[in-house]
Amino acid sequence: MDITIREAQASVDQWIRTVGVRYFNELTNLGILMEETGELARIIVRKYGEQSFKESDQHKDLADEMADVLWVLICLANQAGVDLTDALQKNLEKKTARDRDRHKQNEKLK
């Protein structure tokens, strides 16, 4: 099943209002976002970095950890009234205008 960002925002909102009862406040969600980002970082460091997996990390799923981060980010966007589809489009346009030639001229990337 393919889902757009806008549909994801609506689905998360529907889930929160029915299963989750209500949104946690924004500061709580910010803390949860930091926790989830840390869990994602832990898996990436162990999978691609030099640290070995601990027994407790063995069954962690990278995609699931990414989805946890996305979920909380969507919650915060919904709470703040941010349309992530629009925001991402504007961000891509900004980055394209700003960095059109910057990375191509970066010797470190060649």
Residue 100: band (very low, low, confident or very high) from pLDDT cuts 50, 70, 90: confident
Question: Which of 18-27, 72-81, 98-107 shows the lowest mean pLDDT across its residues?
Answer: 98-107
Mean pLDDT estimate for the chain? 95
- Cβ-count burial of 75 within 10 angstroms (0-12 exposed, 13-18 middle, 19+ buried)? buried
Give 65 or 108, the one with higher predicted confidence.
65
The conformation of residue 92, written as its DSSP 8-state character, comes to H
Fold of 5-82: Helix Hairpins (1.10.287)
Residue 101: predicted pLDDT: 86
User: pLDDT tens-digit profile of 19-56?
Assistant: 999 999 999 999 999 999 999 999 999 999 999 888 88
Q: Is the pTM of this model over 0.85?
A: yes
